[in-house]
Chains A and B, each alone.
Chain A
């Protein structure tokens, strides 16, 4: 009972072979992106812009954003819709999994040797059965500018 009260629901997904989770209240919807318009001169991780029910969504390839191994282009990609301020973003990931409720107490700090780029956007790690789930900090994932300056 205590667990459910203190727990947080996460939308899980895998991309570049890694399992990630996003707090469900930050996820607007999950959709299959179509007709992405490329934007010339944009940052590498920006796949382009697309129209989602009249809203313009900026699609960001999470694999490129986190320097993860990219799957082949034709692989069925999914997008996780996120609102940030007045804008909409779509994180392109390899596959979306189930929604998990995980107790806050079990979330562990990042291992100190975690890849720096990943560590910057990670809000902690859950030890699940058989695999590790990295919780993403949405705002830091979307903060492309700071990354560029830091890099």
Chain B
């Protein structure tokens, strides 16, 4: 009896899923007799079996439903109400089946309400058929999907000749048998063992040249491979099985949300392992719900935006290599990056500076963060931001990746890439610290030989290893270090370029062997807590090795990255990285052969753009960059733009604006002391410094920013609460050129004068200065004399003075304090100067 009940449950559940999708199509195409026939047959079968098993509740319910369906079959017009009623009946049936599964008997309850409605509808129709609206108008009356076609369904429904399709399925049924999933799983495990044993045998025979075993073993090997493939096939199921519920989901959603949504499905017959299928079901449903809820706009909004009234969710699946690619796309409003940014800041996921440096794609990925939901209205559909992070982790659990693309106003596309099967994967075998490890091939992008005399060399920015790879900086981590197997060696190794989500990093290993199809064995419970491993496997030679989990390895990188980003944020705040110790400089060539350099911290990104994308407008070079027009500025007139190929540029971003500095070639990133030894009078050049033994021009980025946007600094001023005015006194034009933009960039008005006498004139002119920054050593009247003169002026007696000195000695500080200097800053300490200005003007603010 138990077994019978079990069979009944499996069969009925399958049938119900089918009925679900059939019904939705039925509502859209009520005249299709064949669909009606199918549904009727299914309900009828359930009813029949119920009676046989003595399930009275189910029987009564299905009987009532069947009667109504029978009426439809006899030509009664189908109303939307009727479909809704039948759907709720099916829901009730499912609930009873659920109870049946757990209790082994029908749960208590009463279905009189539904039966009453069902039979009333069946009867009412007979009496007053004219009251029912014509079926054709129905789909327009209700915001229901007009058309939701699945490919397999289409071939059954769309054809005019109904019979053959039905016969074909019946024929197929007699050729198939029902096998329990456990049996298949056991078979799979056994085959996995067989594969391993075969591999071991092959390894042994390889060592004995003349072996009698060679030929039979080759045969065994082939048979094993065939068997493996065959068993895998038995576990394969079309992805359409995971989609079956979706038409119903979308139908219900469109009714609930008052939207018109069509569901298109392509490639439903794409097959994948049933284990994977089970695991991907829920994430898929969630994504589709998400598209319907957040993606597709209401009909009014759509029409206003000039789109079709009905939104479309497009589901497609296809094979690609050893993976299956599933796409869920909608033609809705797309993601609102501004809202995502605001939310990311609110949740403390990233700072504003960090966000400004991110691409839209990277920003979109924030929706996968835990607790993230930008829906201002929480609906019952997508819930409270407890979805996307679960979706991602579920997919990553099965070794898959999820990615998204969004175009404002045009829609959002989620792309899921998952392995066909979980049991056997292709893995790269690597060595680190004398041990071998397997890295799943899915996450490996490429291999780079580092060190030696090769093209690639591991470099370090402070303690962080990086690799220059086609003009991008690849963050590296030493596997040896992550696994605590010894000290890293930068000079020799292979970099396994690995992708996890949108993050790409390089794992440095000592050696790389080969790729091998490995059978994943679950990890020992005693090792499961180690995040860098995802499983174990037995190699062909019989040894056991650990499988690395790229996600876990990336976490190690994340820790370093977070610390680094926090630091970078601070540095940016100060606009400069002049510390006592070393500074990372980006060395490049532009125009002349002489190397040029800028502090790396000022550079937002290094880009290579296609020359064909460079446009000329009003004599200025522009390029479309992240949906904005970015001006391209040349370091000097000699530096021409390339005519073809790709043009390397340094991108500087600030407050949502970007400027591209055109360079010929990016040479190096070096860490060195920045000592400007010879100042320069050339605009745009701060001076010259010796960097790595070569005289290098240090570029003043502040000079180029206003060239890109004349109002670059003005915009900043406008945003400052109260712009304060700083009087800058320096006899050297170079320093005035250097410091004025710097102080401006920090949000102050600057009046620059060339002597102490001019300064006094300015102070007497009536202009209110909040702060004076003066050079100490000046001809005729020096800084000390200026300060003394100011003390006797009623308007300027309390104005704070910051002194700039080339040499700061205890003696000068003492003397400065006596005459009333508020602060002393070394001339090249730009960060120190800004800090001092901020401090002094803050005091002022408090005083006022």
Contacts and interface: CB of A to CB of B under 8 A. Distances in A.
A41 B527 CA distance: 9
A49 B193 contact: no
A50 B197 CA distance: 15
A16 to B, nearest CB: 21
Interface string A33-72: 0010111111100101111001010101000000000000
B524 A58 contact: yes
Interface string B409-436: 0000000000000000000000001011
Contact of B530 (A35, A42, A85): A42
B34 to A, nearest CB: 49
Given A37-B435, A49-B524, A54 B196 contact: yes
A39 B542 contact: no
Interface stretch (B543-551, B688-696, B720-728): B543-551
Contact of B526 (A38, A41, A43, A50): A43
B532 A56 contact: no
B485 interface: yes
Contacts of A48: 544
Contact of B433 (A40, A49, A50): A40
A26 to B, nearest CB: 17
B527 A42 contact: yes
A142 B525 CA distance: 10
A56 B521 contact: yes
B593 interface: no
A56 B546 contact: no
Contacts of A144: 526
Nearest to B479: A40
A41 B532 contact: yes
B484 A41 contact: yes
A51 B527 contact: no
A85 B546 CA distance: 21
A49 B536 contact: yes
Contacts of B485: 40
B242 interface: no
Given A41-B532, A42-B527, A54 B435 contact: no
B762 interface: no
B546 A39 contact: yes
Given A56-B524, A144-B526, A37 B484 contact: no
A87 interface: yes
Contacts of B525: 85, 87
B538 interface: yes
A35 to B, nearest CB: 5
B582 to A, nearest CB: 33
Which range holds the interface residue count of chain B? 20 to 34
Contacts of B435: 37-38, 40
B545 A37 contact: yes
Complex A-B, nearest 7 residue pairs according to Cβ-Cβ distance, in ascending order: A40-B483, A58-B524, A49-B544, A37-B544, A41-B530, A51-B544, A51-B538
Given A38-B435, A40-B433, A56 B544 contact: yes
Contacts of B529: 145
A96 B436 CA distance: 31
A27 B671 CA distance: 61
Interface in B187-209: 193, 196-197
Contact of A87 (B483, B524, B544): B524
B530 A39 contact: yes
Interface in B645-698: none
24 contacts: A35-B542, A37-B435, A37-B545, A37-B546, A39-B527, A39-B533, A39-B546, A40-B433, A40-B483, A40-B484, A41-B483, A41-B530, A42-B530, A49-B536, A50-B544, A51-B538, A54-B193, A54-B196, A56-B521, A56-B536, A56-B544, A58-B524, A58-B527, A87-B525
A114 to B, nearest CB: 25
A54 B538 contact: yes
Nearest to B192: A54
B439 to A, nearest CB: 14
Contact of A49 (B197, B532, B546): B546
A58 B526 contact: yes
B804 to A, nearest CB: 53
A82 to B, nearest CB: 12
B482 to A, nearest CB: 8
A43 B536 CA distance: 17
B209 to A, nearest CB: 24
Contacts of A87: 524-525
A89 B542 CA distance: 18
A42 B529 CA distance: 9
Contacts of A40: 433, 435, 483-485, 532, 546
